[in-house]
Amino acid sequence: MELIIDGKTCKANPGDSILNVARREGIAIPTLCYHEAFGGQGSCRLCTVEVTAGGRSRLVASCTYPVSEGIEVKTSTPAVEKIRRNIIMMLYKRASGSVLMQKLYREYGCSENSLGEKEEERCIVCRLCVLACEKMGTSAISTVMRGIDKRVGTPYDQAATACIGCAACAHICPTGAIEVLDSGNTRTIWNKNFNLINCERCGQPFATREQIDHVSRLSGIEDAELCFCEECRRKKLVGKMQGFSPC
Ligand code: SF4
Ligand code: FES
């Protein structure tokens, strides 16, 4: 099927969201709660665009809005920009400790007088960390509380039995809100301490025992195969490929 984005005719597949198509076509739409691993959540609304279908226009979240034949999309209109600016203002007020939010706040020309309410806070409650934890099969964190008090945490803010210390939550967090402290062979995350094991090849501490065991259990790959850091795994793979090279 075909649709028009910013005057350009684009091809789309059934099930595509507007954001998917725009990204394939190199058309930029800002996002915060979207990640290609999980698809759209429709929660931050920063990806808002204007859609015209059947002679009617409306503002929609492009990461969740499914394309249909002949719709026309505008990614930047005064109404769209106003909504995005308001979202940035609101999120900045919530999480003004985040470098990303500070940057967006400046880029969107928000008022210098509009100071953040939580100067240390960095979490915008996008839930990407919760989705990453679910994807790992651990579900050690979730959103707790409601309204402006909504935040991410472990059950009763205690060290969660389910947490394997993989730090997938921290890696995916767009605002750097999750603290991971690696010191020597100890990792501290979500109020829990873990021992880090060393890479079999370079000797650097790189993963927790719990993480290796968990991945081994889920994937059926032997522990010994997993005991290499990312860099050394890549080097091992290149070495193997060169070994098989016909040249
Ligand atoms: S901690 Fe980061 S990833 Fe998790 S909800 Fe907050 S901003 Fe999103
Ligand atoms: S990126 Fe679409 S709603 Fe957040």
Pocket perturbation via mutation, ligand 1, pick of 32, 102, 128 by most ligand atoms within 8 A of CB: 128
pLDDT score of 247 more than 50: no
Q: What is the pLDDT of residue 242?
A: 72
Q: Whose CA is nearest to atom 4 of ligand 1?
A: 129
Angle in degrees, CA 113, 119, 123, rounded to 5: 115
* Ligand 1 pocket residue status of 32, Cβ below 6 Å: no
Q: For residues 28 and 23, what is the distance between their CA atoms, to the nearest angstrom?
A: 7
Percentage of the chain modeled with pLDDT above 70: 95
Ligand in nearest proximity to the CA of 126: 1
Ligand in nearest proximity to the CA of 133: 1
The predicted model scores a pTM of 0.91
Q: What is the pLDDT of residue 117?
A: 62
Atom of ligand 2 nearest to the CA of 42: 3
Provide mean pLDDT across the span 178-186: 96
The model's pLDDT over 136-160, given as tens digits with 9 standing for 90+, comes to 999 999 999 998 899 999 999 999 9
Higher pLDDT, 119 or 129: 129
Ligand in nearest proximity to the CA of 174: 1
The model's pLDDT over 88-105, given as tens digits with 9 standing for 90+, comes to 999 999 999 999 999 999
Q: For residues 60 and 49, what is the distance between their CA atoms, to the nearest angstrom?
A: 6
Q: What is the pLDDT of residue 245?
A: 42
Percentage of the chain modeled with pLDDT above 90: 87
Q: How confident is the model at residue 243 (pLDDT cuts 50, 70, 90)?
A: low
Residue 2 and residue 9 in contact, taking contact as beta carbons nearer than 8 Å:
yes
Gyration radius from the chain CA atoms: 22
pLDDT score of 32 more than 80: yes
Q: How confident is the model at residue 238 (pLDDT cuts 50, 70, 90)?
A: confident
Residue 33 and residue 41 in contact, taking contact as beta carbons nearer than 8 Å:
yes
pLDDT score of 246 more than 60: no
* Ligand 1 pocket residue status of 227, Cβ below 6 Å: no
Provide mean pLDDT across the span 167-189: 97
Q: Beta strands of 14-157 (E only): which ranges?
A: 48-53, 56-61, 72-74, 142-144, 151-153
Residue type, 52: T
pLDDT score of 112 more than 70: no
* Ligand 1 pocket residue status of 123, Cβ below 6 Å: yes
- What values do phi and psi take at 50, rounded to 5? -105, 125
The model's pLDDT over 69-78, given as tens digits with 9 standing for 90+, comes to 999 999 999 9
Q: Which of 83, 69, 68 is nearest to 29 (CA)?
A: 83
Span 1-126 CATH architecture: Roll (3.10)
Q: Ligand 2 pocket by C-beta < 6 Å: which residues? A: 31-34, 40-47, 61, 63
Q: For residues 213 and 164, what is the distance between their CA atoms, to the nearest angstrom?
A: 9
Q: For residues 51 and 80, what is the distance between their CA atoms, to the nearest angstrom?
A: 11
Q: Which part of the chain is CATH 3.10.20.740? A: 1-126
